[in-house]
Structure 1
Amino acid sequence: MGVIVVGVDGSEPATQAALTAARLAVGLGSELRVVCAYGDYEVERVRDDRDLVFTSVEPATEVAEQTIGRLRNAYPSLTASAQAAGGKPAEALLEVAASVDAEMIVVGNKRVQGAARILGSIATEVARKAQCDLHIAYTYARR
């Protein structure tokens, strides 16, 4: 039993990719790690010279946890955990996958403009750098 990593951001295409990842995890008897990336820390100095650090860790964790709730509606036997990871989405997915020795990363094929339009910029970067299997999920409504 290995770990499958999927990234989410609260969008419908990301949720569709997560549903594919959940189906694969249940079918393979794997744990699913649902990752939501967040940006850099912001530091603000307050009057008494203390630094307050603000991050979007909590909202990112909440997005991942809400996604797991939706996935468990479709796959009640799913074993899953939520994780917020700092950095750009592709970097965050790759880092988490390496840290848990993932057997697979699942990404969506969300359309983008420009050179990365074939797969999407996140899928392209993950495909170039992944050190495990990669599954690209079809994330558009089927006709």
Structure 2
Amino acid sequence: MVGAEGPKESEAGEMSNTPELRRMVVGVDGSDSSRYALEWSANQAVQRGLGVRIVTAVWPLVAEGPFSDVVHAGESSSSSAREQDARALLDYARDWVLRIFPELDVEEKLAAARPAEALLEEAAKPETAAVVIGSRGLGGLATAFVGSVGVELAARCPVPLVVLPKKHESAHGARGRIIVGVDGSEPSRRALEFGFRQAHAVGAELVAVCAWQPMAAFASAMGPVPPEAFDDGAIEAAARRTAEEELREPSAQYPDVIVDVRAVRAHPVVALLEEATPADLIVVGSRGRGGFTGLLLGSVSQSILHGAHGPVAIVH
């Protein structure tokens, strides 16, 4: 459902002045995780008036070191077979998604590159609105967030990166909320802007979560602190003020979006995961202040991505 009021995507920075249709780019490898990513991308594209580009990658085997002769000997035939399998996968994925969304504009892309490079190249194109991947797969693109592929994408992707879990309920027809982590940092503001655009486009409620923890938990490491710092009520009020201040501008820009502010006494990971359902989209900045610092490079990001039962969007 698209809201009746509020700016169009082009006015919100989600669209550009290029004549080419904006697209969701989704990486597939034949796994359930990438199938969920494809379905979610298609559902979003239909609601937002976008197209979809389905991407898979076939890249050369490593041909250096003591096994280089063996690799070179079998590379030609194996590369040809992998390419045929990849093209068959793309055709199947296209036909499958068009059976569900026959009105969707779908493109296919077979890249001769590493998975991360293939998706980053697509992400850099002006028509790309977001990149969507599965969190688990059979190898290749859908190994995201298990190893270096996901870390590289998270660190370098210039557009929002959305990750779908291995086990995800059908996205078709599901109407979830947008759960955004708010901490007052610049990446958090950009995550909030993306969350509002998304909520406006699909007619969803936005839940702004600002987590706080009792100062007593950190006192031994901080040294002497004033007594008022131990007032949980004051800390909670400050967290709520932070969230409300950050919400003021996007709320004015998108007056049709219903907003719920939650100041939660918990670790940020716990606060976000407990708030979200499998139908909700969790949106976080790539880095933040306080609890979100180092997101995607440490335990906070891994906990959210491994613990979420629905999609997670990372915004730089």
TM-score (norm 1): 0.74
Tell me how far apart the structure 1 counterparts of residues 294 and 271 of structure 2 sit (CA, whole Å).
21
SS at match of 1:30: coil
**Identity fraction in percent:** 32
Matched, 1:22 2:22: no
Match of 1:97? 276
* 1:33-52 to 2 correspondences below 5 Å: 33-40=207-214, 42=216
Match of 2:242? 63
Match of 2:178? 4
Deviation at 1:102, TM superposition (A): 5.3
How many pairs align? Answer: 122
Residue 13 of structure 1 is aligned with which of 162, 181, 187?
Answer: 187
* 1:77-116 to 2 correspondences below 5 Å: 77-98=256-277, 103-110=280-287
Q: Is the 8 A contact 2:182 2:189 kept in 1?
A: yes
Tell me how far apart the structure 1 counterparts of residues 187 and 179 of structure 2 sit (CA, whole Å).
16
Deviation at 1:129, TM superposition (A): 0.4
Amino acid at match of 1:2: G
Deviation at 1:120, TM superposition (A): 3.8
Deviation at 1:118, TM superposition (A): 8.1
Tell me how far apart the structure 1 counterparts of residues 257 and 306 of structure 2 sit (CA, whole Å).
29
Match of 2:309? 131
Deviation at 1:81, TM superposition (A): 1.4
Unaligned runs of 5+ in 1: 43-52
**Is the radius of gyration larger for structure 1 or structure 2?**
2
Amino acid at match of 2:302: T
RMSD across aligned positions (CA): 2.4
SS at match of 1:106: strand
SS at match of 1:90: helix
Amino acid at match of 1:134: V
Tell me how far apart the structure 2 counterparts of residues 38 and 81 of structure 1 sit (CA, whole Å).
17
Match of 2:67? none
Deviations along 1:20-43, whole A, 9 cap, x unmatched? 11111111110000010001275x
Greater per-residue strand proportion: 1
Question: Which range is displaced more, 32-41 or 16-25?
Answer: 32-41
Deviation at 1:79, TM superposition (A): 1.2
SS at match of 1:136: strand
Deviation at 1:54, TM superposition (A): 2.0
**Greater relative contact order (Cα < 8 A, sep 6+):** 1
